[in-house]
A and B are shown apart, each in its own frame.
Chain A
Amino acid sequence: MAITITVNGTAHSLDVEPEMPLLWALRETLGLTGTKFGCGISACGACTVHLDGRAVRSCTLPISAADGKSVTTIEGLARNGTLHRVQEAWVAHQVPQCGYCQSGMIMAVAGLLAQIPNPTDDEIDANLTNICRCGTFARVRTAIHQAAGSEGAAS
């Protein structure tokens, strides 16, 4: 049975097992490798994408759960060549080190800001549980506040 999903604005019909995790469909079937495999048990967040606008961990999400829905990956976060404000803040604060976790971190933060436009430190702590082994957390926090602030300034 074909699965129909829209990824970064493009509709796809995929002939894969319904229980295949969304992560592997994105990476191997669609070639969108910006979304990363880190643990396979939804513990680290490297695989975070947006499903109908909400951040989800794609390594345990069966693709059947995305059937008929819209997925945004890191490749689709920038619009018309303009970086998302979270990406801009990441560059401004030179957040990534090895960078492997950062696709998921950025998608998680973009999802957080969509829910809570100007999160407090406590709200960041409660909602962001992505793992970064390089230890970029302090810069992540600073960059979140900048991204949230730039949203505030724009509105």
Chain B
Amino acid sequence: VKKWTRRAFIGAGTVAGGGFLLGAAGFTFAPGRHSLVSADAADKGQLTTWITITPDNIVTILIPHCEMGQGTPTALAMMAAEELEADWSLVRVQEAPALDEYANGYIVRAVGGHYVPAVLGRGVDYGAYKVMEWFGFQVTGGSTAVRGTGEYGMRVAGAAAKEMLLAAAAQQWGLRASECVAKASRVTHAASGRSATFGELARSAATQSVPTSPALKNPASFTIRRTSPRRLDIPSKVDGSAQYAIDFATPGMLYAALEIAPVHGGKLVSVDTAPAEAMAGVKKVVTLDEAVAVVADSFWRARRALAVLKPAFTDAGHGDVSTASIFAAFDKALGAPPEMPTDAAKVVTAEYRVPFLAHVTMEPMVCTVKVEGDRADVWTGVQDPLNARSVAAKALGLEVANVRLTNFMLGGGFGRRLPFTFDYVDLAARVAKAMSPTPVKTIWTRENDIQHDYYRGAALSRHAGALDANGVPLAAHSNYTGGGSGEAVFMPYAIAGKNAKEKKARHPIRLGQWRSVLNSQHGFFKESFIDEMAHAAGKDPFEFRRGLLGDQPRFKAALEKAAAMANWGTSLPQGEGRGIAICESFGTIVAEVVQVAVSPEGRLTVPHVYAAVDCGDVVNMDSAAAQVEGGIIFALSAALLSEITIAQGRVVEKNFRDYPMIHIADAPTVTTAFIRSDAPLGGLGEPGVPPLAAALANAIHAATGIRVRELPIRKTPLKNV
């Protein structure tokens, strides 16, 4: 069922002190339509936002998404404030608590029936909304916040509140609402010179009838959107006052350090707890099915005591699994390269390989839990507070309603803190249960984090392409495995025979969603291969792509923009080169040109990256650019350096020494341009990632003639012999 019917709810009332409260909630959806109808009383609303206006003329907007560095709360508040005609300096933002009422059904609405965010994983279609409802999602992920919650929730709520304020003013002044104008948190009537602040009108506004289809502003008259107001979270992030889960403290709290079965699925066989229990500050050694935890009065003491334990774990039967064995299985599953037309003048084949990757958020996994009788409190940082609360409840055997979760700012998310990967909440809950009623903060070490992630999948892809005698592509096929199937294989190019087939190969390494999900692998595969086809055709890689985008005007415009920004086609010194790639993900098209220099000794530097981005329209220009910049650096670090390897069933890498990240010395300047199109709003948290690795590899080829077909790039010697 792809067609949503639309029913939503909006309610208003007064708050203490004479303020105005407006709540907007949504059920099911008609993509692209913005309005609300009164709910019948039987419907239980899921609140998307509320807007309060207090007599001091402050507008407070509640946001059902978390702040993990993308500026989402600021952007969402801008969308509501724009329609409300609020003075931005008088707007405040508050994150929604983890209550069922805030399950963000709007995340599904953003997808409009043609695309479901992969973060929702399994079997989501008709039921996308139903699944949300059952599992109680409150997700920040899939680059959906602005295009879902913002477009269909915030805007409508802001517009409705404005109409009620206008109605209140008109009533007071004996005028028609249409004669009054709202601007900068004030309603005015030009002819009579009357004027009142939103705060002064709040009490009366609350008694006005709620509009069911408030008119939205024409984008041409936006005054808050398309500007760059400062993000609301930044002041607290320069003076140390921002509160992350790791910073939470409550009286009597103890600390836990964990050692988890090194092979996922392994069980604790035995551990002599006595040596740790004899150490200073240690309160208890807690043994769990798959882990041992030392609980102490400081984290450092807990960790020091954990280090003396010698727990034995099973290997879950996976002790013979290695990176080599996994890729051997991939190789077998893929078989021969796809067959090409026999009349082709030229056939191109290539094989690409990418490794497992860890998320490595700067804040490791942290969760504090206090269990008291049949109730529990959870303090953590997650991309989905409601689902995390369910995980804690299940681990504790408690009713979900009896578990209260407080979410904190996230020290990075990148997909690690999404539903189905809340092992750190589960473990922390079980440790705290053993210490009930004492609250326990379980802090993962960096080693825990890197060795017990839900990894970006390693993948192998085998490609074949055919060209006619004029270099026109006839076919481009691929067989791939490890990356999972999905829309990420889409190629926009006009090639008669395009095909991408997934071949299944099983392995026991647990996988999760890593920034941009499957696009991170397929962006590298498909945009490397089209580059190889361009070279085989004897054509410039930019011109070759452009020639195949005649019926894809948005792709073509982005590609041309990125090329122009990078002065594509102008000559570069020996050893330097440019590479280009373009991908669509999460409704946004991004073309990137990477410029590289490779020294005669094979040392690679990346001075510049240019990105042309079509996400429809942009809410906060500066934080949108920051997301693209961040996505590019995130992808660059992975493409150059990152690889999780498996030996004897377990992850080998432990910390930043063997899973290194780029530093400022390695970071390019990033120039980002946005193309305004009439397309629906696209996401921004992730789409900067997918084109980068291919554009980089293509640039290395342009500079050196060496074709990189395996990530990370450090594995390919770049010294030209």
Contact = CB atoms under 8 A, between A and B. Distances in A.
Decide if A and B are genuine partners: yes
Interface of A: 17, 20-21, 24, 28-29, 31-41, 43-44, 46, 73-75, 77-78, 83, 87, 90-91, 94-103, 106, 124-126, 128-141
A32 B246 CA distance: 12
Contacts of B235: 91
A137 B239 contact: no
B364 A98 contact: no
A90 to B, nearest CB: 5
Contacts of A125: 663-665
A135 B234 contact: no
A128 B667 CA distance: 12
Contact of A83 (B69, B236, B239, B632): B239
8 closest Cβ pairs, A-B complex: A34-B240, A135-B633, A100-B411, A99-B237, A97-B69, A98-B69, A125-B665, A137-B667
A98 B630 CA distance: 11
A134 B233 CA distance: 15
Contact of A135 (B280, B300, B631): B631
B682 interface: no
B623 interface: yes
Contacts of A130: 663-664
A133 B661 contact: yes
A134 B71 CA distance: 12
B691 interface: no
B439 to A, nearest CB: 14
Contact of A134 (B238, B242, B412, B622): B412
A96 B240 contact: no
A124 B664 contact: yes
B669 interface: yes
A89 to B, nearest CB: 9
A99 B664 contact: no
Given A32-B240, A40-B655, 15 more contacts: A17-B280, A28-B299, A39-B656, A41-B657, A96-B234, A98-B409, A98-B410, A99-B237, A99-B242, A99-B411, A103-B240, A133-B634, A133-B661, A134-B69, A135-B632
Interface stretch (B124-132, B136-144, B342-350, B355-363): B355-363
A124 B667 CA distance: 12
Nearest to A125: B665
Contacts of A46: 362
B663 A129 contact: yes
A51 B632 CA distance: 35
B633 A96 contact: no
B241 interface: yes
A24 B298 contact: yes
B119 interface: no
Interface string B224-264: 00000011011111111111101101000001000000000
A102 B235 CA distance: 11
A41 B655 contact: yes
Interface in B648-669: 655-657, 661-665, 667-669
Which of A40, A74, A75 is most buried by chain B, counting CB atoms within 10 A of its CB? A40
Nearest to A144: B664
B697 to A, nearest CB: 19
Contact of A96 (B238, B361, B446): B238
B362 A98 contact: yes
Contact of A94 (B249, B623, B668): B623
A21 B414 CA distance: 29
B626 A94 contact: yes
Contacts of B630: 97, 134-136
Given A83-B239, A97-B70, A133 B656 contact: no
B98 interface: no
B238 A24 contact: no
B626 A34 contact: no
Contact of B249 (A31, A41, A96, A135): A31
B300 A21 contact: yes
Nearest to B609: A138
Which of A29, A96, A98, A141 is most buried by chain B, counting CB atoms within 10 A of its CB? A98
B294 interface: no
A129 B660 CA distance: 11
Contacts of A136: 626, 629-630, 633
Contacts of B636: 135
A102 B68 CA distance: 13
Contacts of A78: 239
Contacts of B657: 41, 43
B239 A94 contact: no
Contacts of A133: 360-362, 412, 414, 634, 637, 661
Contacts of A34: 239-241
Which of B244, B411, B414, B637 is most buried by chain A, counting CB atoms within 10 A of its CB? B411
Nearest to A132: B362
12 contacts: A31-B249, A37-B364, A40-B655, A44-B362, A74-B239, A91-B238, A96-B69, A98-B413, A102-B237, A125-B665, A133-B361, A135-B631
B443 interface: yes
Contacts of A138: 629, 633, 667-670
Given A17-B280, A91-B230, A96-B238, A37 B656 contact: no
Nearest to A78: B239
B577 to A, nearest CB: 21
Which of A38, A95, A137 is most buried by chain B, counting CB atoms within 10 A of its CB? A137
B362 A36 contact: yes
B240 A73 contact: yes
A134 B299 CA distance: 26
Contact of A37 (B414, B443, B665, B669): B443
A124 B663 CA distance: 11
A90 B238 contact: yes
Nearest to B246: A37
Given A41-B655, A126-B665, A131-B661, A106 B238 contact: yes
Given A98-B412, A131-B663, A75 B633 contact: no
Contacts of A39: 446, 655-656
A106 B236 CA distance: 13
B237 A96 contact: yes
Contacts of B28: none
Contacts of B413: 98
A141 to B, nearest CB: 6
B445 interface: yes
A125 B605 CA distance: 13
A24 to B, nearest CB: 4
A37 B366 CA distance: 11
Given A133-B414, A133-B634, A136-B630, A38 B446 contact: yes
A6 B186 CA distance: 51
B69 A131 contact: no
Contact of A43 (B68, B231, B656): B656
A125 B668 CA distance: 12
Nearest to B247: A33
Contacts of A40: 445-446, 655
A98 B244 CA distance: 10
B670 A36 contact: no
A135 B238 contact: no
Contacts of B244: 36, 100
